[in-house]
């Protein structure tokens, strides 16, 4: 048994939940779907989550970092199974490796376009790209003032068969309100951009702009493909108002830990660093061997653990340590050593509840999970035939 299997805390990811949410996103949008698996699939495990997306029939997988796109191909996710798009192209990205592995990449500035043209000349074949536009975000992407030179450069490269435009795309900076002004300006820019290329007889591929908020709130921005991230992992909206139950999605991740010790404290005694909590009556403190090194945010206020066995919450007491935290079990504990407590998962404690109490957002919490905490997968059967790729990768781990 590998040593981490004895770790007292674990992440459990429900692959059927990711599949369900992805199917729901497709149904809701009526468009193609790109499964966003960047940042280790928002902490859910890159390859396993990618397979869950594939089992829902997504057309694309997407990663920010090229190394994650490469890992997907090396894990056996072949071009026959899906297209992959990667978008954080920097001066040291090995574009040839991406082309060899049939990974589409984003071109969002003239430097990457020029490198692509040179690579195409060297390889003697066209390269599949998605042209990135930018407006009011300040990240990579061609801006409206680039319109004339970029249309000229892309038309020239397309005519010379150096590139094939598989998509025109962007990302909204302010998509948490329906029809905010910057979003609609970006959409107008994208439509003009596409029209100008089409006018030159150039195939522009898929137009894709929508993230989760846009999918939920502004269906008119769905176009040919959508890229909802947090929606597909079953998170609530950042403000926590649109909870998964309202959205019809299912949270895919839970964080659980086993109770490892029960200790009495007397009135006046403090618990944990700095004694920020002092008992005002006799009680029993439960020790949970999990802490901020595992990814539970240290500055969470009013934190609670939940037991499915007793259907009760247990308040966290004192400062959260690097690898331990403490809960109040009351005078006569109804839990015993080894009982499992949930720190987040499906209702009643969502990741966003913890994130808000820690003064941040769910994506920040899940992408800061500790490297040593093991991830277990539930409902692997939901992958169907793709479970074979899952099995091979879990043997290799």
Ligand X SMILES: Cc1ncc(COP(=O)(O)O)c(C=O)c1O
Residue 36 as a binder of ligand X (CB under 6 A): the answer is yes
Question: Which residues 215-244 are close enough to bind ligand X by CB under 6 A?
Answer: 227-231
Of residues 71 and 171, the one with the C-beta less far from ligand X: 171
**Least Å from the CB of residue 36 to ligand X:** 5
Sign of CA dihedral 89, 204, 63, 128: negative
Of residues 39 and 75, the one with the C-beta less far from ligand X: 39
Q: How far is CA 335 from CA 236, 281, 324, in A?
A: 30, 19, 18
C-alpha–C-alpha distance, residues 151 and 158, integer Å: 10
Two tokens at 123?
Answer: 């390889």
Residue 230 — φ and ψ, nearest 5°? -60, -30
Indicate the SS3 state at residue 277.
strand
C-alpha–C-alpha distance, residues 53 and 61, integer Å: 8
C-alpha–C-alpha distance, residues 342 and 305, integer Å: 6
**Least Å from the CB of residue 277 to ligand X:** 35
**One of 24, 73, 171, 362 touching ligand X (CB under 6 A):** 171
Question: Which residues 199-218 are close enough to bind ligand X by CB under 6 A?
Answer: 211-212
Q: Give the start-end residues of each E strand in 148-301.
A: 163-169, 206-210, 225-226, 253-258, 261-265, 270-271, 277-278, 283-288
Residue nearest to ligand X (CB): 229
Q: Which residues are catalytic?
A: 38, 273
C-alpha–C-alpha distance, residues 78 and 182, integer Å: 37
List the x/- string, 123-162, binding to ligand X by CB under 6 A.
Answer: ----------------------------------------
**Least Å from the CB of residue 106 to ligand X:** 9
Of residues 252 and 389, the one with the C-beta less far from ligand X: 252
Residue 86 as a binder of ligand X (CB under 6 A): the answer is no
**Least Å from the CB of residue 131 to ligand X:** 14
Question: Which residues 8-27 are close enough to bind ligand X by CB under 6 A?
Answer: none
Applying CB under 6 A, which residues contact ligand X? 36, 87, 171, 211-212, 227-231
């Amino acid at each position: 048994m590998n040593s981490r299997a004895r770790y007292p805390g674990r992440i459990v990811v429900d692959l059927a939940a990711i599949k369900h949410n992805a199917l729901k996103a497709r149904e809701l949008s009526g468009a193609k779907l790109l499964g966003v698996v960047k940042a280790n699939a928002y902490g859910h495990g890159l390859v396993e989550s990618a397979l869950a997306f594939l089992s829902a029939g997504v057309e694309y997988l997407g990663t920010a970092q090229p190394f994650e796109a490469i890992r997907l191909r090396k894990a056996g996710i072949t071009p026959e199974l899906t297209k992959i798009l990667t978008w954080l192209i920097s001066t040291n990205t090995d574009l040839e490796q991406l082309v060899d592995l049939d990974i589409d990449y984003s071109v969002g500035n003239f430097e990457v376009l020029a490198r692509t043209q040179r690579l195409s000349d060297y390889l003697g074949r066209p390269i599949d790209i998605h042209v990135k536009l930018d407006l009011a975000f300040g990240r990579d992407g061609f801006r409206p003032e680039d319109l004339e030179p970029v249309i000229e450069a892309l038309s020239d490269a397309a005519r010379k068969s150096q590139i094939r435009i598989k998509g025109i795309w962007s990302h909204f900076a302010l998509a948490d309100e329906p029809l905010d002004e910057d979003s609609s300006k970006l959409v107008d820019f994208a439509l003009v951009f596409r029209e100008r290329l089409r006018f030159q007889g150039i195939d522009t591929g898929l137009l894709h702009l929508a993230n989760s908020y846009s999918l939920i709130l502004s269906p008119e921005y769905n176009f040919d493909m959508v890229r909802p991230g947090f929606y597909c992992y079953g998170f609530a909206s950042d403000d926590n108002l649109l909870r998964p139950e309202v959205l019809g999605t299912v949270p895919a991740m839970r964080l659980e830990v086993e109770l490892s010790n029960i200790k009495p404290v007397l009135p006046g005694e403090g618990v944990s660093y700095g004694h920020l909590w002092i008992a005002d009556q006799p009680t029993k403190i439960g020790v949970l061997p999990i802490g901020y090194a595992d990814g539970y945010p240290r500055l969470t206020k009013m934190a609670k653990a939940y037991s499915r066995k007793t259907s009760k919450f247990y308040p966290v007491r004192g400062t959260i340590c690097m690898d331990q935290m403490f809960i109040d079990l009351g005078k006569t504990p109804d839990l015993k050593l080894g009982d499992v407590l949930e720190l987040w998962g499906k209702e009643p404690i969502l990741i966003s509840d913890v994130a808000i109490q820690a003064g941040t957002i769910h994506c920040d919490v899940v992408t800061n999970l500790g490297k040593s905490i093991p991830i277990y997968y539930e409902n692997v059967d939901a992958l169907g035939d793709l479970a074979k790729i899952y099995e091979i990768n879990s043997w290799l781990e």
